[in-house]
Chains A and B, each alone.
Chain A
Amino acid sequence: MKAISYLIAMNVKNAILDTIRHPLRLILYLIIIFGMAYGAVMGFTAGDTDAGEFIRGITAESHGRLLNGAYLAVLFFISIPVMLKGLSSGTSFFSLSDVHNLFVAPVSTRLILMYGIGRQLATMLILLITFAAYGGMLINTFNLAPWETLLLIVGIGLMLILVQLTTLIIFSLASCHPKRAAVMKYIIYATAFGAIGIVVGNLFIGGITLENTFRSISLPVLEYIPIAGWMHGFIFGILEQNSLKMLIYGLLMILMIFGSIIALYNFNTDFFEDVLSGAEDYHEFRENIRSGKVSEAAMFGDGKKLKKGKLGINRGYGASTIFFKHLREGARRSKIMFFNINTVVLMLIVLVIGLGMRIAMSEVNPTIIYLAVSIIGAYVQFFFSAASDWVKELTKPYIYLIPDNPVKKLVMAAATGLIKPFTDGIVSFLILAIFIRGEIPDIITAALMYGSFGSIYIAANVLAQRLVGIDSTGGVFITFYMSLIVLTLLPGVILGVVCLSEFAVVFGNIATTLFDFPIFSWNMLVSAIIFLSCRNLLNNTE
């Protein structure tokens, strides 16, 4: 125990000292904490939001069901990917330094396991504090008491621990047994699709109305599903003051936690091998995130056997070779050029929100739907831009060494990242148009604005790299990058708002065009200026 308590004490002490010795980091942490606290307080005290107004406009029964369904969806959305990922690579209970130093030390494996679980609890605590920033919004929107909000957040944290424990057991049972792993994967998929099937089935039987949508996503049967469902049952048992429900699901989870720990204690004390690959993957992923690199392995599944397809780059000369290389790499990631998981996610977001608005507000003009969906889509795209080909190219020395014009190299390295959002936007908004119709200029400008956000995100990334340095790491870069995005976008958004307010009376049926087109134009102009002004970025890696 001495070794582990020493390790914990030293880690805590050194983390504090390290933060104090790096004033910039300290300031950044303080800004983040202040921002979260501010967000939480604003949420508590803010007046009626549009979402809040909408939610209060529906019946009390539907109101509860919406909260029920949304919470269940969050639990599923978090737990299923973690379990699927964990099945192939274990969990992140331990860091690579734990594996290399602690696992080989003469310390009881059980103590090490408890240490790992303790570490995970601490990580979850930090995550919960982050979630707390959204607590205010929850209180305001759903008219919840602070303790109820806190309970919902704690529920997510507890569920994550349960998921990690379960994943560790599943991984222990399935590692080195491909058939078992496949069976478990099918069970997880079947559970997820089963839940979706129940919701969709109920939706079709009862009709696609707002009330029935809420009823479908909050069916009690969904609570029978282990972990996410049980946690939902437990938390809503407390909220609804339903002691029996709370007791049953609480007991089920306690049994599961103890059962898992006992299983790990007795059946598989030699869990080191099971967590080794997981720890290695997690270490690599963290290092890549820290250094601003996101490796192909981390993004596209390390062990996955890729089909090479056509061999050879076959085109390009000088700087343009980088673009054609990206096309070849893209073809290996996805059978359809520029089509990947981001395209699917965007299509789903566009369709779900677009059709959701159509169902909820049947009288609304389609232009309002396009307007809302294009704004949300543009925001979501930020999260897709982290792993663009451009970012990955900067992590290799070749782009700096290639003897060609730096502007050409810059544009060619960013080209696929610039084109892809436009193709994603066109595909997604065209599909939405099939369902909700609307004006052609709206459809085109919604897609164009979405695409132009890709240009702005890359341009802001280029500018941030130019100003704070390519080798800058972690939080400083991200904060700076995000500030630049806001600064570069703001004039375009103001322009859009002005155009919308000035011309909406005459051209009210194409409000999306009025708002989106000025933003698209501004984004493209600013992106071009940034690219030109940062032409010397590739002179060195700093």
Chain B
Amino acid sequence: MINVSHLTKKYNRYKANDNLTFTVSDGETAVLAGPNGAGKSTAIKCISGLLRFEGEIEICGYNNKSIEAKRILGYVPEIPAPFELLTVWEHMEFIARAYRLNDWQERAEMLMKRFELADKRDKLGKELSKGMQQKISICCALLINPKAVLFDEPLVGLDPHAIKELKHMLGEMKAEGTTIIISTHMLESVEDIWDKVFIMMNGRIEAERTRKQVEETGENLGELFFRITEKNGEESE
């Protein structure tokens, strides 16, 4: 479970996140949606512990900055950042050693196979295309078998096969009870996997819907998204 309580992130006087409060339960997939600059990536980075913030964030009951939380949290950054002088397999080894994993090899092989990295295992990070680098980021995050995982625009730059595979994996992780948060500005890319959606605008959550609510009311999520983001856009103009 990820519990975010009164999260505020300021850059000088500018509030990138303004008093965000939400909970994503075990086995739930939440989507942070919103236009560019809405504060999605900032929220993801705060949850992953990369940024300072006001408020409280808990990962499965642990403070998100604690070692216990780090041990069970996976994070896929928006911009892949592989080590240029490590091979693909060595990235797996690095994560396994740094996170003190046991018997990780089989899972690493499986991940690399599913993301079509198996034949690239001895390629250096710098020799890979951006899409391949993104796949390494995903494999590194998933190798630890996280109880909670954060994806920042995960589908950007992936090829169709990798998108399909990632969606399958998300389904499997969900079934295993993993908490998943995905940030994206393309709602249609996650329409078949989300349980909960938070539509963000100007650093705030402007609307929150569950799949059940949308199915019961027949509300069109796309229309809601544009109604909120375009209204706010006009107001700010």
Contact = CB atoms under 8 A, between A and B. Distances in A.
A397 B141 CA distance: 11
Contacts of A542: 51-52
Given A397-B75, A400-B50, A401-B73, A311 B87 contact: yes
A51 B75 CA distance: 57
Contacts of A295: 84
Contact of A539 (B65, B68, B126): B65
A189 B211 CA distance: 68
A542 B10 CA distance: 12
Contact of B99 (A302, A329, A403): A403
B85 A403 contact: no
A147 B129 CA distance: 53
Contacts of A317: 97, 100
Given A311-B122, A541-B51, 17 more contacts: A308-B87, A317-B97, A318-B97, A321-B98, A324-B97, A328-B86, A329-B83, A398-B98, A401-B49, A401-B75, A402-B99, A403-B70, A403-B100, A539-B52, A539-B65, A540-B49, A540-B50
A539 B67 CA distance: 10
B56 interface: no
Contacts of A402: 70, 98-99
A312 B124 contact: no
B94 A325 contact: yes
A319 interface: yes
A332 B83 CA distance: 12
B100 A296 contact: no
A328 B68 CA distance: 28
A321 B87 CA distance: 15
Contacts of B50: 397, 400-401, 540-541
Contacts of B174: none
B31 to A, nearest CB: 21
Interface range for B? 20 to 34
Interface in A393-417: 395-398, 400-405
Interface in A484-542: 539-542
A470 to B, nearest CB: 10
Interface string B78-106: 00010111110110011101111000000
A308 B51 contact: no
Interface string A292-309: 000111000010001010
B100 A306 contact: no
A412 to B, nearest CB: 10
Interface in A285-344: 295-297, 302, 306, 308, 311-314, 316-319, 321-322, 324-325, 328-329, 332-333
